[in-house]
Amino acid sequence: MEYKILYNGVSNNRRGLADAKKLDEKLADCKLEYVDVRKIDSYDSYMQSLGSDERVILCGGDGTLNYYVNHTTDATKDIPLDYYATGTGNDFIRDIGVEQGEIVKDINRFFKNLPEVIINGTRSKFINGIGYGIDGYCCEVGDEQRAKSDKPVNYTGIAIKGILFHFKPVNATVCIDGNEFTVRKAWLVPTMKGRFYGGGMMACPDQDRLAEDKKVSIMTYKTGSALTALIVFPNIFKGAHVKKEKVVKIYTGNNVKVKFDRPCALQIDGETVRNVTEYEVVTG
C-alpha cells in the first residue's frame, strides 16, 4: 500500500511536518509520499486521481479538517480518507474518542450532514463548533501572540485575563428554530456540532455529532459578575458547568441565529473571524 500523507506545515505551532513524519515508524512497511496541503489546487481532482493501491492520510488539526471539508464536494465522499491529528487543540479526535497518535480510518462518515454557518453572507461548513464571545476573543489574542512568537499559546491564561480585565460581556439576541429570546451579560454563545472546542472545553456534553435529527447544541453562558464567570469557567473542561443553571443553559435546534450588541471576534473550528455582529447556523 502507498500512502499520500497530506500534511499542514503550520499546524501545532509550525511543527506539522515533523509531527506527520512520525508516520514513518507507524507505517514502516509502506511507501509514503508527503504532500503539503497548501500546494494542492483541487482536492476533488487530487482525490479522484488516486490509484487503487493508494490511500490518503490527512495530517493537521481541527482547522485543517475544516479547510478540507470546505474545499471538497460530494465527488470525494466515497473515496477513503484517513486522519492523523497533528494540531494544537485536536477537539475532533477528542470528541470521537480517539487518542493522540492513532490513525483514524475512513473519516468521511463524520463529514455527512455537517451544519453551515453564515457570516456576512458567506457560508461555510464546520466540524466542531462556532465560538462567539470570550472564546473568539481568546483566538484573536492567540493569533496575535503567535504572529510575534513561536512559543505555544496559553489560551487558558488568555481567558482568565480576558474575563478579569479585557473582555466585557455583551447582550445577545438568540433565535432557535423561530423562538427568539434575549441573553443579557453573555460571555459565551457557541453553537456546537460536537461536544468539544477550544482545546478541550466540553461546551455541550450531550451533543451527538452523528445524531440523525442533525440538531446542533447552543450554550449560553451569562452573568453580570466577572468573578462568577471566572469561578464557573474551569468546570467547562469537564462539562460540569451545565450544573450551574443560573449561569449556563443548553438548547438544541436546527436553525440558530445569534446577534451581539457590539462586534466581537468569532472562531470557526479554531479559525478566527474578527468584528462579527451576528451569525446564523443551518443544518442540512
Domain C-terminal end among 59, 78, 111: 111
**125 and 265 fall within a common domain:** yes
pLDDT higher than 80, residue 242: yes
pLDDT at 132: 94
pLDDT higher than 90, residue 259: yes
**What total of structural domains would you count in the chain?**
2
**Three-class SS of the chain:** CEEEEEECCCHHHHCHHHHHCCHHHHCCCCEEEEEEHHHCCCHHHHHHCCCCCEEEEEEECHHHHHHHHCCCCHHHCCCCEEEEECCCCCHHHHHHCCCCCCEECCHHHHHCCCCEEEECCEEEECCCEEEEEHHHHHHHHHHHHHHHCCCCCCHHHHHHHHHHHHCCCEEEEEEECCEEEEEEEEEECCEECCCEECCCEECCCCCCCCCCCCCEEEEEEECCCHHHHHHHHHHHHCCHHHHCCCCEEEEEECEEEEEEEEEEEEEECCEEEEEEEEEEEECC
**38 and 55 fall within a common domain:** yes
Q: Can you give the residue range of the structural domain that contains 65? A: 2-111
**19 and 146 fall within a common domain:** no
Q: Residues 152-159: what's their mean pLDDT?
A: 83
Q: Which of 85-89, 153-157, 257-261 shows the lowest per-residue confidence on average (mean pLDDT)?
A: 153-157
**90 and 57 fall within a common domain:** yes
Contact 219, 248 (CB under 8 A): yes
**174 and 261 fall within a common domain:** yes
**207 and 103 fall within a common domain:** no
Q: Which of 7-21, 59-73, 260-274 shows the lowest per-residue confidence on average (mean pLDDT)?
A: 7-21
pLDDT at 224: 96
pLDDT at 143: 87
Decide the pairing of beta strands 216-222 and 191-192: antiparallel
Domain C-terminal end among 91, 111, 131: 111
Q: Residues 147-161: what's their mean pLDDT?
A: 83
Query: Which is more confidently placed, 151 or 182?
Result: 182
Q: Which of 35-39, 77-81, 150-154, 166-170 shows the lowest per-residue confidence on average (mean pLDDT)?
A: 150-154
Q: Which of 46-55, 140-149, 226-235 shows the lowest per-residue confidence on average (mean pLDDT)?
A: 140-149
Q: Shortest CA distance to 268 belongs to which of 128, 123, 152?
A: 128
Alpha carbon 200 to chain centroid, angstroms: 11
* pLDDT tens per residue across span 101-144: 999 999 999 999 999 999 999 999 999 999 999 999 998 998 89
Instruction: Please give the Cα distance from 86 to 83 (Å, whole number).
Output: 9
**257 and 145 fall within a common domain:** yes
**149 and 81 fall within a common domain:** no
φ/ψ (deg, to 5) at 156: -65, -45
Instruction: Please give the Cα distance from 250 to 8 (Å, whole number).
Output: 34
**120 and 157 fall within a common domain:** yes
Looking at residue 59, its amino acid is: C
CATH code at position 123? 2.60.200.40
Contact 219, 244 (CB under 8 A): no
CATH code at position 94? 3.40.50.10330
Written as nine digits, the cell of 79 is 473515496
Q: Residues 35-47: what's their mean pLDDT?
A: 92
Q: Shortest CA distance to 62 belongs to which of 211, 223, 199, 155?
A: 199
Q: Residues 142-163: what's their mean pLDDT?
A: 85
Q: For Cα atoms 43, 76, 100, give the angle at the middle one, nearest 5 degrees.
A: 80
pLDDT at 89: 87
pLDDT at 92: 97
Contact 116, 150 (CB under 8 A): no
**218 and 236 fall within a common domain:** yes
Instruction: Please give the Cα distance from 172 to 222 (Å, whole number).
Output: 10
Q: Residues 4-29: what's their mean pLDDT?
A: 90
Mean of the per-residue pLDDT values for the chain?
Answer: 94
pLDDT at 49: 94
Domain C-terminal end among 111, 140, 158: 111
* pLDDT tens per residue across span 208-228: 999 999 999 999 999 999 999
pLDDT at 151: 79
**107 and 218 fall within a common domain:** no
pLDDT at 33: 96
**126 and 228 fall within a common domain:** yes
